[in-house]
Amino acid sequence: MDKLLIRGGKRLSGDIQISGAKNAALPILCAGLLTADTLALANVPKLQDVATMQKLLRQMGLSMEDKAGVLELCGRDINKLEAPYEMVKTMRASILVLGPLLARFGEAKVSLPGGCAIGSRPVDQHIKGLQAMGADIRIEGGYIYARAKKLKGARIVTDMITVTGTENLLMAATLADGETVLDNAAREPEVTDLAHLLVAMGAKIEGIGSDRLCVTGVPALHGANHSVIADRIETGTFLCAVAAAGGDVVLKNTSAHLLDAVVEKLREAGAILTTGEDWIRVQMAGRPKPVGFRTTEYPGFPTDMQAQVMALDCVADGNSRVTETIFENRYMHVQELNRLGARIEIDGHTAIVQGVPKLVGAPVMATDLRASASLVIAGLAAEGETLIDRIYHLDRGYDRMEVKLSAVGADIQRVK
Ligand code: EPU
């Protein structure tokens, strides 16, 4: 099993190219199920979750070909309307095939995702929404069996804001009969990116970027070209790495507008951020100031950046309070950060971080994707060697992170 060996204390300097967003690419690949035509997708990140999604879609009959960095998908010969447990258990985002399959083929069998490390994460809202659109849904033997001759437009108000729930229902609504109104819709940039692709495919969607999406169903969608937006969480992760280790780095092919709440916190921490249309320069010297925050839905502070900014708080000059409101169990990095000398206590949904002057390298274990990223950041800031085990979690969502960090002067290597 691969590990990452980091020798901390190196200043970072140079340029980093940001990849396409994992959480936009995953639903966008599933949108390939909605049409018999070809989708040409640029800026698809090369990471494990994307590979897993590609494998799942290929076994359904969606063809895929990489043509000089543009991924061409063709849904002409879909012949298997099923997402098996073996695949869904490794990646919850597999649930995103449910809406498209049901809308285009009137049928789908998708394994129920189980709980996962960061919380219970049910999919009841996906199911409730599809039922409101007239789907007949039965759950048996751990599988969701869904049928609908033709989905019908409906008004759907989800109990909470759900990102993949909104994406699933949005894709389903594009081919339904009549108008669907999705109220309390997620406004994350990845939802917006999917909506833009769907419009390019011929879907009729109003209210893109707002919490009310109005979709008028069309009989069929056609092919389109699309470039996936930049990964705002990868962007934020590298911003934190520079803020924790010190340095001067330009992040390219990304935009500060995708992560205003995070940019704000990094400025509060003392980083100097200069921004352009498609780049962000981050400069940092000295110890960060502590920053408190509360995770919430977009445009608030993203739960997917909680662990990384907490790593920065660990070396801050003072104390901070971090509150996680989206997932119930997203503090698994805390114990590992404490192994590096951090002083964090958990009190319910809140973590109280007492900044220390320095962290000291140690062997640690990655427990989930963003927890792994926080350990990399802490390792870069720490004195001595940090060895991070189980980095397959990191590989799920970051495109060659250690290669990008080495190129800006980090001492980081993958060891077998
Ligand atoms: N929820 C329900 N029922 C549902 C759907 C959601 O109770 O039917 C609850 C969840 O348990 C959670 C909250 O609602 O407490 C929000 O969950 P959401 O559905 O928004 O999460 P998700 O769609 O499963 C996506 C991202 C996550 C990110 C969250 C929150 C993808 C593929 N995943 O998950 O990304 O943390 O939104 O922003 O888009 C990551 O990239 O590391 C990651 C975990």
Ligand 1 atom nearest 397 alpha carbon:
41
Query: 23 CB under 6 A from ligand 1?
Result: yes
DSSP, residue by residue, 47-82: SHHHHHHHHHHHHTT-EEEEETTEEEEE-TT----E
Ligand 1 atom nearest 122 alpha carbon:
3
Cα of 275 to ligand 1 centre, how many Å? 29
Query: 331 CB under 6 A from ligand 1?
Result: no
* pTM of this structure: 0.98
Cα of 191 to ligand 1 centre, how many Å? 12
Query: 128 CB under 6 A from ligand 1?
Result: no
Which strands sit side by side in the sheet containing 12-17, from one edge to the other? 12-17, 247-252, 279-284, 272-276
CA distance 30 to 86: 18
- The answer to whether 74 is a known catalytic residue is no
Per-residue pLDDT tens listing for the chain (416 residues): 899 999 999 999 999 999 999 999 999 999 999 999 999 999 999 999 999 999 999 999 999 999 999 999 999 999 999 999 999 988 999 999 999 999 999 999 999 986 667 777 889 999 999 999 999 999 999 999 999 999 999 999 999 999 999 999 999 999 999 999 999 999 999 999 999 999 999 999 999 999 999 999 999 999 999 999 999 999 999 999 999 999 999 999 999 999 999 999 999 999 999 999 999 999 999 999 999 999 999 999 999 999 999 999 999 999 999 999 999 889 999 999 999 999 999 999 999 999 999 999 999 999 999 999 999 999 999 999 999 999 999 999 999 999 999 999 999 999 99
Query: 187 CB under 6 A from ligand 1?
Result: no
**Which residue do the tokens 């940001």 mark?**
18
Closest of 295, 305, 299 to residue 236, by C-alpha:
305
Query: 307 CB under 6 A from ligand 1?
Result: no
- Count helices and strands in the chain by DSSP H and E runs: 14, 24
Nearest Cα residue to atom 17 of ligand 1: 162
Q: Give the SS3 label for residue 99.
A: helix
Nearest Cα residue to atom 20 of ligand 1: 162
CA distance 177 to 319: 55
* Ramachandran area for residue 409 (φ above 0: left; ψ -120 to 50: alpha; else beta): left
CA distance 349 to 329: 8
Cα of 257 to ligand 1 centre, how many Å? 21
Query: 100 CB under 6 A from ligand 1?
Result: no
